[in-house]
Amino acid sequence: MYNLKGKTAIVTGSGRIDGIGEAIVLKLAEQGCNVVISDIGVAQGENFSEEHIGTTDDMETIVKKAKNKGVNATAIVCDIRFEDQVADLVKKTRDSFGSVDIMVNNAGVGYIMEPFQEFKEKSWDAVLDVNLKGAFLCSKHAAIAMIDQGKGGAIINIASQAAKSGFPFAAAYTASKHGMIGLTRSNAVELGAHKIRVNAVCPNHITTGLGHWQNKFFSEKLGQDYDDYLQAIVDKNPLKRTGLVEDIAKAVAFLASDQADYITGEAMNVSGGEEYH
């Protein structure tokens, strides 16, 4: 539908099986796009357990799934908190595929939740370093490559409903996602002259592995049964369902394509009508 044949995309945070990142990778591959699966690979420090990261084994599994769709694919381990690793990620992609045409900033920390009065500085730093600083570094080096290539490109930030609304226990997450929208808009204005479009996708709740953790966390904090909590999410949604990873992947494929060649600086809600501003 969107014909991304011959283009190359980097998708950060795409190494978890059944995660949003994997769905984005496979949707882009379906459209003929070569893909780089990138994730941290190995848990490092108390905030990054294997429960919440893409391991090297999972990354290789996703590479095989992408190749089965007839495109080239590879996995590159990268901790997006560090600029030298991000620069190396972009360089390796260009060396392997010839260009970087699409950067999808999907990597994020959505599992560090604390009451605001008890929110620890190290927790704040862990969330902002990945969600916002990481998006900044990946956007910066993708833009450098795209400008050098002279063909333009697309940068797509995976934000959240929390980029537009507040949530309890999630001060750092909410602040980081609001910041991502500011980064999107600023970069759209500045990079447009180079034919680089910058947009964001704002999902509501999606029950991935991380989503299940969030459901459990919030239902316990609110004193609700898990199933009752999930049903309440469905009940308040105009389309009467929670989001699917495929919903986000389809939005990304559209924004990456020439069908969206006059769209930049947008923060697209993909929420079944739950978020509409």
pLDDT digit string, tens, across residues 125-179? 999 999 999 999 999 999 999 999 999 999 999 999 999 999 899 999 999 999 9
Q: Which residues are paired to 201 by β-bridges? A: 158, 268
Tokens of 230: 């999930």
pLDDT at 261: 97
pTM: 0.94
pLDDT digit string, tens, across residues 37-54? 999 987 666 566 666 777
Catalytic, out of 2, 173, 226, 262: 173
The string over 237-259, giving b where at least 16 C-beta atoms fall within 10 Å of a residue's C-beta and e elsewhere, is beeeebbbbebbbbbbbbbbbee
Catalytic site includes residue 173: yes
pLDDT digit string, tens, across residues 217-271? 888 888 888 888 889 889 999 999 989 999 999 999 999 999 999 999 999 999 9
Residue of higher predicted confidence among 1 and 105: 105
Q: Which of 21-25, 101-105, 120-124, 222-226 bottoms out in mean pLDDT, i.e. has the lowest?
A: 222-226
Rounded Cα distance between 66 and 259, Å, is 23
Q: Enumerate domains of the chain plus CATH numbers.
A: 8-204+244-262 (3.40.50.720), 207-242 (no CATH)
- Contact call for residues 145 and 179 (beta carbons, < 8 A): no
> Of the candidates 110, 212, 95, which has an alpha carbon nearest to the alpha carbon of residue 162?
110
The string over 78-103, giving b where at least 16 C-beta atoms fall within 10 Å of a residue's C-beta and e elsewhere, is bbbbeeebbbebbebbeeebebbbbb
Q: Which residues are paired to 206 by β-bridges? A: 243
- Contact call for residues 62 and 37 (beta carbons, < 8 A): yes
